[in-house]
Amino acid sequence: MRTIEQLLPDHPFFTGLEEPELRLVSGCATNVHFHPGEFLFKQGGSAERFFIVRHGSVAIEVHSAERGTVVIDTVGDGEVIGFSWLVPPYRYVFDGRAVVETSAVAFDGTCLRGKCEDDPRLGYALMQRVSSVMYERMQAARVRMLDMYGSPRDRAH
Amino acid sequence: MTAPTDTAVQRSAGPAPDAMVPRPFRVVGNRQDTRDTVTLTLEPVGGRRLGHEPGQFTMLSAFGVGEVPISISSPVSGPLEHTVRDVGGVTHTLVQAREGSMLGVRGPFGTGWRAGDGRGGDVVFVAGGIGLAPLRPAVLEVLADRDAYGRVVLLYGTRTPDEVLYGRELEQWQQHGVDVEVIVDYGPPSWHGRVGLVTKLVPRGGFDPERTLALVCGPEVMMRFVAIALTDRGVAAGRIRLSMERSMVCGIGLCGHCQLRELFVCADGPVFDYDRLVPLLDLREV
- Mean local confidence (pLDDT), B166-184: 96
pLDDT beyond 60 at A56: yes
| pLDDT for position B261 | 86
Residue % of chain B over a pLDDT of 90: 74
pLDDT beyond 50 at B83: yes
| pLDDT for position B15 | 55
Cβ separation of A70 and B128 shorter than 8 Å?
no
Determine whether B282 is exposed, middle or buried from the number of CB atoms within 10 Å of its CB (0-12, 13-18, 19+).
exposed
| pLDDT band at residue B10 using 50, 70 and 90 as cut-offs | very low
Q: Which of B195, B201, B221 to mutate to test the interface with A (most CBs of A within 10 A)?
A: B195
Higher-confidence position of B47 and B121: B121
Q: CA A16, CA A9: separation in Å to the nearest integer?
A: 8
Contact B277, B242 (CB under 8 A): yes
Q: CA B35, CA B16: separation in Å to the nearest integer?
A: 37
| pLDDT for position B254 | 86
Determine whether A85 is exposed, middle or buried from the number of CB atoms within 10 Å of its CB (0-12, 13-18, 19+).
buried
Contact list in A for residue B36 (CB cut-off 8 A) is 151, 153
Cβ separation of B157 and A140 shorter than 8 Å?
no
| pLDDT band at residue B46 using 50, 70 and 90 as cut-offs | confident
Contact B110, B270 (CB under 8 A): yes
Across A45-54, A64-73, B170-179, least confident range: A64-73
| pLDDT for position B17 | 62
Contact list in A for residue B194 (CB cut-off 8 A) is 57, 74, 76
Greatest mean pLDDT range, A80-89, B154-163, B251-260: B154-163
Q: Which of A61, A64, A74 to mutate to test the interface with B (most CBs of B within 10 A)?
A: A74
| pLDDT for position A157 | 45
Contact list in B for residue A60 (CB cut-off 8 A) is 195
Query: Hey, which residues does B243 pair with through a beta bridge?
Result: B271
B177-235 pLDDT, tens per residue?
A: 999 999 999 889 889 999 999 999 998 888 999 999 999 999 999 999 999 999 999 99
Determine whether B93 is exposed, middle or buried from the number of CB atoms within 10 Å of its CB (0-12, 13-18, 19+).
buried
Residue % of chain B over a pLDDT of 70: 93
Mean pLDDT of all residues belonging to chain A = 90
Contact B74, B68 (CB under 8 A): no
pLDDT beyond 80 at A2: no
Cβ separation of B128 and A57 shorter than 8 Å?
no
| pLDDT band at residue A111 using 50, 70 and 90 as cut-offs | very high
| pLDDT for position B16 | 62
CA distance B53 to chain A (A): 26
Nearest C-alpha in A relative to B35: A151
Q: CA A12, CA A54: separation in Å to the nearest integer?
A: 10
Of the partner residues B128, B130, B186, the one whose CB lies closest to the CB of residue A71: B186
Q: CA B148, CA B12: separation in Å to the nearest integer?
A: 35
Contact B203, B121 (CB under 8 A): no
Q: CA A45, CA A29: separation in Å to the nearest integer?
A: 20
| pLDDT band at residue B6 using 50, 70 and 90 as cut-offs | very low
- Sheet of A80-81, strand order: A29-34, A102-108, A49-55, A80-81
- Mean local confidence (pLDDT), B50-77: 94
DSSP B10-21: HHHT---TTTTS
Cβ separation of A150 and B159 shorter than 8 Å?
yes
pLDDT beyond 60 at A45: yes
| pLDDT band at residue B5 using 50, 70 and 90 as cut-offs | very low
Contact list in A for residue B86 (CB cut-off 8 A) is 151, 153
B117-146 pLDDT, tens per residue?
A: 999 999 999 999 999 999 999 999 999 999
Contact list in B for residue A73 (CB cut-off 8 A) is 195-196
Q: CA B212, CA B207: separation in Å to the nearest integer?
A: 7
Cβ separation of A148 and B196 shorter than 8 Å?
no
**What ipTM goes with this model?**
0.86
